[in-house]
Amino acid sequence: MDLLTSTAAALKQAALAALNDRRHDLIALSRAIHSDPEIAFQETRAAARLADLLAAAGFAVERGVGGLATAFRAEFGSSGPAIGICAEYDALPELGHGCGHNIIAAAAAGAGLALAALGHRLPGRVVVIGTPAEEGGGGKVILLERGVFHGLDAAMMIHPATRNLVDRGSLASLRVEVTFHGRAVHADAPPGSGISALDAMIQLFAGANALRATMLPTARLHGIIVEGGVTPTMVPGRAVARFSVRATERQYAEALRDRFRRIAEGAALATETELEFTVAPGYENMVPNQAIARAFAANLNALGRTVTPTTGHERMGSTDMGNVSQAIPAIHAYLSIAREGISGHSVAFREAACSPEGDQAALDGAAALAMTTIDLLTNRELFRQMQDEFAAQRAAGRVKGLPEA
């Protein structure tokens, strides 16, 4: 065994021993968050539980970072490269922790405790970032823009799932709101005196259906009408729809948005309505860093978990971790807590998130995050591979790099 390998192995062993000492605290943390669900931007108690635990372990904790009351940044180590570990802790309205973010929180905190137990032997820095509102609001998007991820060399997180996966992507997702303004008149008014905004909207939907037939099968375009008139005895003067534009690649989603905008412009032109077209900054597609993913997979294997290779036909959602992966090298790994077929955002998944399998995923997630941090901080070759890969993706336009702070 060379010196590097033996150093990493010794550090991992010490981190795992520390994690084992704290296993009951971490399971209690996961269960406490699960039984006290707080929705997006209101995760006051969950954020405090994590920040208090990390502060007690010697982390320098800054609460309310990026102007978000329920965000925090906790750093341990005085110099060297910095590896970020993201904690999510928001619940879903009505459903509680149906996405299992209590496990993400416990795993991130556990990794922090395990690495802090190495004290000055940690060859770099670990930064646990508390990121609110993944389920709506995009906490990470806001924190990125406000510089909270600046200075990090990489970021990682785990999410509960029904399989162990290290490099599944996610869809880029744009939210578009379309409003047509016409002229409302009584339906019996003379022909030509009113302009129906609803007619423009119907043309837009017909155009969107035609566009869908020409899209790549990896893209999605869905819309609903939220306002289409007040009463049938009035020509609708205003119509509003919301659309979701999603694709496996950010650039394709943006190109699709532009084609969709031209359809809306065409509908406005044809009906003599006025168009308002607003795009909310959405979630970008996840570009998993393969160098980190390989190290993470090896650590999951060492913990006795079998990693399923991702195929080209994965079902994917969207996550604000996608934006992080577009800014710095990152992974969003999945750890199994339930049998396949149980979907996220369900009662069954919520139950799994506070089961023995859920507890084990929090502990294994903490272990794999800590072990991979040690790999990245001790193995210069791996660190350089990670950076070179990100630079190549950036040159190809697949990722963007950090936004201007």
Which residues contact Zn ion (rule: CB under 5 A)?
99
When the beta carbons of 250 and 350 are compared against Zn ion, the nearer one is 350
* Radius of gyration of the chain, Cα coordinates, nearest whole angstrom: 24
When the beta carbons of 104 and 122 are compared against Zn ion, the nearer one is 104
Give the other-Cβ count within 10 Å of 36's Cβ: 15
When the beta carbons of 99 and 377 are compared against Zn ion, the nearer one is 99
The least CB distance from residue 104 to Zn ion, in Å, is 7
The least CB distance from residue 248 to Zn ion, in Å, is 19
Smallest CA-to-CA distance from 13 within 372, 371, 373, 377 is with 371
When the beta carbons of 319 and 379 are compared against Zn ion, the nearer one is 319
Q: 209: which 2 tokens?
A: 């259906």
Q: How far apart are CA 367 and CA 40, in angstroms?
A: 27
The least CB distance from residue 331 to Zn ion, in Å, is 15
- The values of phi and psi at residue 321, to 5°, are -65, -25
- The values of phi and psi at residue 185, to 5°, are -140, 165
The least CB distance from residue 196 to Zn ion, in Å, is 39
| Nearest residue to Zn ion on Cβ basis | 99
Q: How far apart are CA 334 and CA 139, in angstroms?
A: 20
CB 236 within 8 A of CB 229: yes
When the beta carbons of 99 and 354 are compared against Zn ion, the nearer one is 99
Smallest CA-to-CA distance from 167 within 316, 73, 11, 287 is with 287
When the beta carbons of 156 and 382 are compared against Zn ion, the nearer one is 156
| Positive or negative: CA dihedral 176, 180, 186, 190 | negative
* Cα-based distances in Å from 402 to 147, 153, 209, 312, 375: 9, 11, 36, 28, 23
When the beta carbons of 102 and 271 are compared against Zn ion, the nearer one is 102
CB 267 within 8 A of CB 253: no
The least CB distance from residue 99 to Zn ion, in Å, is 3
When the beta carbons of 320 and 359 are compared against Zn ion, the nearer one is 320
Instruction: Give me the residues paired with residue 279 across strands.
Output: 176
When the beta carbons of 139 and 182 are compared against Zn ion, the nearer one is 139
The least CB distance from residue 101 to Zn ion, in Å, is 6
The least CB distance from residue 315 to Zn ion, in Å, is 13
The least CB distance from residue 321 to Zn ion, in Å, is 9
Helix (H, G, I), strand (E, B) or coil at 333: strand
When the beta carbons of 99 and 362 are compared against Zn ion, the nearer one is 99
CA triplet 152, 286, 323: central angle to 5 degrees?
50
CB 22 within 8 A of CB 110: yes
The least CB distance from residue 90 to Zn ion, in Å, is 8
DSSP state string for 211-250: HHTTS-TT-EEEEEEEE--S-TTB--SEEEEEEEEEESSH
The least CB distance from residue 134 to Zn ion, in Å, is 6
CB 88 within 8 A of CB 131: yes
